[in-house]
Structure 1
Amino acid sequence: MDISEFYDTFFEEAEELLGDMEAHLLDLNVDDPDVEQLNAIFRAAHSIKGGAGTFGFEALLRTTHLLENLLDHARRGRIALRRDIVDTFLEAKDMLNDQLDAYRQGTEPDPEALERICETLRKMALEELGEETGDDAPVTAVPVATAEPEPPALPGGGVRVALLGVDEKDRQLLIEELGQLGEIVFQSGDADRFEVTLNTSVSATDIEAVMCFIAEPEQLDIQAVAASEPAAAPTEPVVPAPAAPDAAPEKAAPAAKPKAAASGESSSIRVPVTKVDQIINLVGELIITQSMLNQVAEGGQGKHSTDSSGQDNGSAALVTGLNLLQRNARDLQEAVMSIRMVPMDYVFSRFPRLVRDLAAKLGKEVELVTEGKSTELDKSLTERIIDPLTHLVRNSLDHGIETPAIRQAAGKSGTGTLTLSAQHQGGNILIEVSDDGAGLDRAKILAKARANGLSVSDSMSDDDVWQLVFAPGFSTAEQVSDVSGRGVGMDVVKRNIQTMGGHVEILSRPGEGTVTRIVLPLTLAILDGMSIKVGAEVFIVPVSAVIESLQPRREDLYPMAGGDVLLKVREDYLPVVAVHHALDVDDAVTEPPRCIAVIVQGEGRRYALMVDELVGQQQVVVKNLETNYRKVPGISAATILGDGSVALILDIVDMHRLSQSKKERQREQHNVATRRRPEALIPPALIKEVEH
């Protein structure tokens, strides 16, 4: 049997189990550990070990086996938990992640790293339990209740079956089922762990197949008992494998290598059954509507009838059917799009470990608070937002939150607070990274900007000063470390967010903290757009960027030096961006008073787009222009309209940059032409006087 087709399922389940393991370890109170959390951590390691044995992933099997033994002792209270022990467990979890990634890519895990983590776990067992242990000699379990009688030895060997966290009814069912597979020679335990030792020749695989009707796989612990060995001594666990059930894991049949993943992103999404049911119902509605339209079409080939008002019944039925079709198609589209939506907890769950480790490294005390974890975002965006958020979190920990001594001297609590929040805002999602640290230093940023050759002035607004931190190579760190100070990161954050159709803003107050705000569209696949016309061309402007539209008056237009024009809208003066000029559109309206001004916002600034007319608002399917054609300045993507024509989707901020660069080139060309004609600099009257 080729089991390689089940690799992807195992990888995804193991990755989820490791995530749960890390979350429980980080949330664990070492002074008073929660038994349920310890059991959950143990079950995660046990489940991964079972899968690793099934697929012949030996490095993963060895590591989880040692880790599972130690976790078993910890949950039974035989190892007193400390922070350094939890750190070791987290280190082992990281190694399991690395091994999982290696197998996912079709390669073998690093053997040196494997030996290091195994040696670390063996050393912990020796120090905490006083026992020498290795891969072939697992940590020996001490009986839970020494007052219980020792179980008899099994001359021919047997199997021990344990159920974790089951009620009395399941325990009785376990005894009944096992009694049909062999002779029960011993049973003991409680609701937490109930064990039955069985003298039988039935394989562990067959026993597990029967037990699956009683409990979940993670609640089962099936172990072989060697011949003449006391039945209570745990031995090498038997896990289902392609080879003989009682064979050692290293002798299992070699598994086929998994294929390398196409990308680093997860290739599947967990979907609630309710969403699938909704789609099935909507497809049924579409089929009914299709049948209705077919009947109308067939009836249209014969005679048409009219009602009392003289209206054609066939036409009325056709209109009704088309309206139903439109409504069902829209509902189906929304239902399908909802499948791509995943909660922000998928993103936020990555950061408790990062904050814990980095705060300890920096000598700071930081509490992480997450808000809006159930807020949903498109799966493709959640994968891409992780790196930018990681940069922002590291910056808050390194530059923002102070050390306990400095905070207490300033009258603050010694423990800083870092907050990650997400919420829906119209058609966008608002993600914030905020801290209660020292805030940004305006004078320091301006001084660094001048040193880097940037054009700045003391009269700049705070918002403009904060935007300087996104300049390439900009860093105010006094020392370069492995945390920050190399001048990379914030410019990458801004660039990555812009490629996702979003923008980033910074709010800061000295001594009170900093808030970095990211605004993203909920999805990159469907866009609510406003159709505009310039000349004979139709363009799409994202509705989320549109504030209002108006007819500009001549007295509200203010020409500036260099060809720039400002439009006064109430008390604000907005840069004018003529779409026909930026994109070289012919036969367009060129006089601003005859145009329509669409007031839009991008990266926290507002602009006035000059267009010929507004066509209407509609939902459009976004197509990647760079993938299908090439990168076009001022354009973020494209879509196909109802008539089959292609419409370009405008990038608001890039449109302004494109317009400014074209004006700059025109000024340079004018200056060159002027230098070639010196007479243009001489007043005509003076030229005549010289000629005379």
Structure 2
Amino acid sequence: MSMDLQRFHATYFEESREGLDAMEAGLLALEGGSLDPEVVNSVFRAAHSIKGGAATFGFDKMAALTHVLETLLDEIRAGKRALAASALDAMLGSVDVLRALLAEAEHGKPSDPSAVAAVHARLEAELNGTAEEAAAPAKAPAEAEPEGWRIAFAPSPSLFMSGNDPLRILRELEHLGELDVDARLDRLPAFAQLDPLEACIAWDMGLRAKVPRSAIDDVFAWVVDDCELDIQPQQPAAADAVAAAEAAAPAAGPGPAAPPAAAPAGPVAVPASGHAGEAESSIRVSVDKVDALINLVGELVITQAMLKQVSGGMDPAQAERLFAGLELLERNTRDLQEAVIGVRMLPVDAVFRRFPRLVRDLSSRLGKQVRLRTIGEGTELDKGLIEKIADPLVHLVRNSIDHGLEMPDDRKAAGKDEAGTITLGASHQGGHIVIEVADDGRGLNRDKILAKALERGLQVPDNPSDAQVWDLIFQPGFSTADAVTDLSGRGVGMDVVRKNIQALGGEVQLESRDGHGTRVVIRLPLTLAILDGMVVSAGGEVVILPLSHVLEALQPQPDDIRTVAGEGRVLRVRGEYLPMLSLADHYGYHGGQRESLVVVVEGEGRKLALEVEELVGQQQVVVKNLERNYRRVPGISGATILGDGRVALIVDVGGLVRLRQQSLPQAA
């Protein structure tokens, strides 16, 4: 009986991509000094699965390459050969080639035969022992590492006031290895005298991991001046028996006997894998099917809004049961919408996990020492946003390494650690996800940026603030790099980064301190599908203000409105003067009544007072792409369909802030 194997191809390609990601992460962990046998086994299993499927489906080039890779990994995990740096480099190269071969099998995109042959030859050379001499020196640094560290950490009472959290520090240490923690309560007062704003607990910790002292110093970098800290190496004689058992495991027999001792750490090392029961309860669903479901839920939200609006004109006494049913429909619709959108939510780690390899390759190429630090990898974001945010983040990380971080000698001369740090962080704030890319490099040079702006004839405000100066690097083609290369200055393409983020309904902010580094903050909506909006009337038309940008609504007094030279009209709100903008005038609406209310909104770190006629209400709206169906309109992020069938525009608050800044009088 013949069987059509092509219907299994899609599943194989998807699983192989996941396997290659797991292989790359495992190899980078081994290169970083991990001695966990389960890491080697996870890489071996991924190679074995890819080889088996390739042989079954007739992808001969993939099968041949993974056969050599699998043989090399099997000998390493069985203890027959040392894990040499040259072998790791060859295996990482094989991951790139396997990705190309996978694309060839899936999409017919030809791979580079010379690259395939070169990687195959490197793996064969490792198997034949030509690179054995490199193995001993490669292992020397790892053997010089202590078996673990003993850490005594006593925060000062005022630690909380600097915004630091001791529990966050403990969690970061857990990422480095197995951590034993004992709390010291000798400074803890009686309950009646307890002050929740003072740190009273100290900790004694044992970290069982062969990591460099610098990795631990990084964890405590933000609190080193607000604590008593003692970090001592743990000598091999005092190390945990588990480490000794792992070292002796290869001699006990073939490789598969080793994993059981380390197996419990598996779910912790790879959180995405979960428990076996979780894997059995999941299914693979086409993204197109999920998108179709979200579109249907969006139409249901519009229909529910229409029914609610129509029912508003009915007599409540006669339609009591109808109103009760509509309220239930509204609750169920919101629950359904949240559940369906949750299906599309993925951890931002889907983007972050590509950066360890990028950082490794670029730092080697540029001769720099770079340490990558990630925070909040489990923060969830809509899949559509994850796919579109990847390229801007890659650009920012590349520029941070190339233009932001100094060479090791320069850093040492400046009193810094020779290894620079790139931080990738993600967190939820209100209705947004905030992603930051930070480095501890040289920072932006204010004078150099201003000189370049004047040289190019750009308009610069009188006595510009730092934020206005940093904003200049978002001008098209702006760069302060002395030499143009494929990785040149931080300004190259930054206008494209901002444009791409704005197209997603987000905004970009940049902070920098000379000699201390640069931080780029990206704020994005959690999803592009549905948002909570404040419905307002302006110039006789209905517009939507995203609720996540709204701070307050008020009725201004005439005495609180002033006209300031160079600023236009401003509104005084509790001692703060906010620029005012009429929505009717801005969008060219000429109907309606006089605008008597103000809605205070915030975008890109700046507040704006928007004049409106009436606050109509608050409701969920389904976001429709205006650019795809019409064209891009400055100050508008999209449109929606109201319950009565009318189209209402959704205000781009960040865009309004930028447009107003550009319209102010400026001097060169």
Deviation of 1:94 (Å): 0.5
C-alpha separation in 1, matches of 2:34 and 2:647? 64
Which has more helix, going by share of residues?
2
- Against the structure 1 CA distance between its residues 535 and 551, is the aligned structure 2 distance closer, same or farther, given a 3 Å change threshold? same
Q: Secondary structure at the match of 1:623?
A: coil
1:430-441 pair list within 5 angstroms = 430-441=434-445
- Report if the CA contact (8 A) 1:30-1:83 is conserved: no
- Establish whether residue 348 from structure 1 lines up as the match of residue 352 from structure 2: yes
C-alpha separation in 2, matches of 1:605 and 1:472? 23
C-alpha separation in 2, matches of 1:552 and 1:607? 14
Q: Deviations over 1:242-279 (max 9, x none)?
A: xxxxxxxxxxxxxxxxxxxxxxxx964999xxxx9xx9
Q: Deviations over 1:470-528 (max 9, x none)?
A: 11111122222222239522111111111111111112222222221111110010111
- Against the structure 1 CA distance between its residues 83 and 353, is the aligned structure 2 distance closer, same or farther, given a 3 Å change threshold? same
- Establish whether residue 93 from structure 1 lines up as the match of residue 157 from structure 2: no
Instruction: Find the counterpart in structure 2 of residue 611 from structure 1.
Output: 612
Instruction: Find the counterpart in structure 1 of residue 546 from structure 2.
Output: 542
C-alpha separation in 2, matches of 1:191 and 1:21? 18
C-alpha separation in 2, matches of 1:425 and 1:123? 52
Instruction: Find the counterpart in structure 2 of residue 54 from structure 1.
Output: 56
Deviation of 1:370 (Å): 0.9
C-alpha separation in 2, matches of 1:55 and 1:6? 9
Deviation of 1:564 (Å): 3.8
C-alpha separation in 1, matches of 2:127 and 2:329? 67
Q: Deviations over 1:548-601 (max 9, x none)?
A: 2222333333335689433333444333222212221122345xxx43222222
Deviation of 1:446 (Å): 1.3
C-alpha separation in 2, matches of 1:346 and 1:13? 15
Q: Secondary structure at the match of 1:523?
A: coil
C-alpha separation in 1, matches of 2:575 and 2:454? 31
Question: Higher relative CO (CA 8 A, sep ≥ 6), structure 1 or 2?
Answer: 2
- Report if the CA contact (8 A) 1:582-1:655 is conserved: no
Deviation of 1:45 (Å): 0.7
Instruction: Find the counterpart in structure 2 of residue 504 from structure 1.
Output: 508
- Report if the CA contact (8 A) 1:79-1:129 is conserved: no
- Report if the CA contact (8 A) 2:532-2:546 is conserved: yes
Letter in 2 for 1:59: K
Deviation of 1:336 (Å): 0.8
| TM-score normalized with structure 1 length | 0.67
1:489 to 468, 489, 493: 493
- Establish whether residue 124 from structure 1 lines up as the match of residue 126 from structure 2: yes
- Against the structure 1 CA distance between its residues 267 and 572, is the aligned structure 2 distance closer, same or farther, given a 3 Å change threshold? farther
Q: Secondary structure at the match of 1:103?
A: helix
Letter in 2 for 1:77: G
C-alpha separation in 2, matches of 1:30 and 1:632? 49
Deviation of 1:108 (Å): 4.1
Letter in 2 for 1:328: N
Residues 624-633 or 370-379, more deviating: 624-633
1:375-386 pair list within 5 angstroms = 375-386=379-390
Instruction: Find the counterpart in structure 2 of residue 184 from structure 1.
Output: none
C-alpha separation in 2, matches of 1:463 and 1:92? 45
- Report if the CA contact (8 A) 2:507-2:654 is conserved: no
C-alpha separation in 1, matches of 2:655 and 2:576? 21
C-alpha separation in 1, matches of 2:116 and 2:520? 40
1:148-187 pair list within 5 angstroms = none
- Against the structure 1 CA distance between its residues 554 and 49, is the aligned structure 2 distance closer, same or farther, given a 3 Å change threshold? same
- Establish whether residue 427 from structure 1 lines up as the match of residue 428 from structure 2: no
Q: Secondary structure at the match of 1:617?
A: strand
Deviation of 1:13 (Å): 0.6
- Against the structure 1 CA distance between its residues 452 and 115, is the aligned structure 2 distance closer, same or farther, given a 3 Å change threshold? same
- Against the structure 1 CA distance between its residues 442 and 331, is the aligned structure 2 distance closer, same or farther, given a 3 Å change threshold? same
- Against the structure 1 CA distance between its residues 620 and 270, is the aligned structure 2 distance closer, same or farther, given a 3 Å change threshold? closer
C-alpha separation in 2, matches of 1:463 and 1:657? 13
C-alpha separation in 2, matches of 1:66 and 1:268? 35
Deviation of 1:126 (Å): 3.1
- Against the structure 1 CA distance between its residues 350 and 269, is the aligned structure 2 distance closer, same or farther, given a 3 Å change threshold? farther
- Against the structure 1 CA distance between its residues 15 and 489, is the aligned structure 2 distance closer, same or farther, given a 3 Å change threshold? same
- Against the structure 1 CA distance between its residues 553 and 630, is the aligned structure 2 distance closer, same or farther, given a 3 Å change threshold? same
Q: Deviations over 1:428-457 (max 9, x none)?
A: 111111222222221122112212211225
Alignment RMSD (CA, Å): 3.2
Q: Secondary structure at the match of 1:90?
A: helix
- Report if the CA contact (8 A) 2:347-2:377 is conserved: yes
Instruction: Find the counterpart in structure 2 of residue 637 from structure 1.
Output: 638
- Report if the CA contact (8 A) 2:78-2:255 is conserved: no
Instruction: Find the counterpart in structure 2 of residue 597 from structure 1.
Output: 598
Q: Which runs of 5+ in 1 are unaligned?
A: 131-187, 195-214, 217-265, 291-310, 665-692
C-alpha separation in 1, matches of 2:655 and 2:330? 35
- Against the structure 1 CA distance between its residues 398 and 460, is the aligned structure 2 distance closer, same or farther, given a 3 Å change threshold? same
C-alpha separation in 2, matches of 1:565 and 1:633? 21
1:507-546 pair list within 5 angstroms = 507-546=511-550
Q: Secondary structure at the match of 1:192?
A: helix
2:15 to 13, 16, 19: 13
- Against the structure 1 CA distance between its residues 539 and 441, is the aligned structure 2 distance closer, same or farther, given a 3 Å change threshold? same
Instruction: Find the counterpart in structure 2 of residue 192 from structure 1.
Output: 256
- Establish whether residue 78 from structure 1 lines up as the match of residue 80 from structure 2: yes
Residues 473-482 or 319-328, more deviating: 319-328
C-alpha separation in 1, matches of 2:374 and 2:563? 48
C-alpha separation in 2, matches of 1:53 and 1:581? 67
- Report if the CA contact (8 A) 1:79-1:128 is conserved: no
2:459 to 452, 455, 460: 455
- Against the structure 1 CA distance between its residues 559 and 343, is the aligned structure 2 distance closer, same or farther, given a 3 Å change threshold? same
- Establish whether residue 359 from structure 1 lines up as the match of residue 374 from structure 2: no
Q: Deviations over 1:51-77 (max 9, x none)?
A: 111222222222212222222222223
Give the paired residue count: 500
Deviation of 1:327 (Å): 1.6
Letter in 1 for 2:581: V
Letter in 1 for 2:338: E
- Against the structure 1 CA distance between its residues 485 and 510, is the aligned structure 2 distance closer, same or farther, given a 3 Å change threshold? closer
C-alpha separation in 1, matches of 2:430 and 2:494? 26
- Against the structure 1 CA distance between its residues 458 and 67, is the aligned structure 2 distance closer, same or farther, given a 3 Å change threshold? farther
- Against the structure 1 CA distance between its residues 123 and 388, is the aligned structure 2 distance closer, same or farther, given a 3 Å change threshold? same
- Report if the CA contact (8 A) 2:569-2:580 is conserved: yes
2:401 to 397, 400, 413: 397
Deviation of 1:368 (Å): 1.1
Deviation of 1:541 (Å): 0.9
1:465 to 469, 482, 504: 469
Q: Deviations over 1:324-344 (max 9, x none)?
A: 222222111111111111111
- Against the structure 1 CA distance between its residues 595 and 504, is the aligned structure 2 distance closer, same or farther, given a 3 Å change threshold? same
Q: Secondary structure at the match of 2:527?
A: coil
Letter in 2 for 1:440: L
Which structure would you say has the larger Rg? Answer: 1
Deviation of 1:649 (Å): 0.6
| TM-score normalized with structure 2 length | 0.69
- Against the structure 1 CA distance between its residues 317 and 577, is the aligned structure 2 distance closer, same or farther, given a 3 Å change threshold? closer
Deviation of 1:634 (Å): 2.6
Residues 527-536 or 405-414, more deviating: 405-414
1:210-359 pair list within 5 angstroms = 268=287, 315-359=319-363
Letter in 2 for 1:333: Q
Instruction: Find the counterpart in structure 2 of residue 113 from structure 1.
Output: 115
- Against the structure 1 CA distance between its residues 47 and 563, is the aligned structure 2 distance closer, same or farther, given a 3 Å change threshold? closer
Instruction: Find the counterpart in structure 2 of residue 650 from structure 1.
Output: 651
- Against the structure 1 CA distance between its residues 322 and 617, is the aligned structure 2 distance closer, same or farther, given a 3 Å change threshold? closer
- Report if the CA contact (8 A) 2:532-2:621 is conserved: yes
Deviation of 1:661 (Å): 8.4
C-alpha separation in 2, matches of 1:82 and 1:511? 37
- Against the structure 1 CA distance between its residues 415 and 662, is the aligned structure 2 distance closer, same or farther, given a 3 Å change threshold? closer
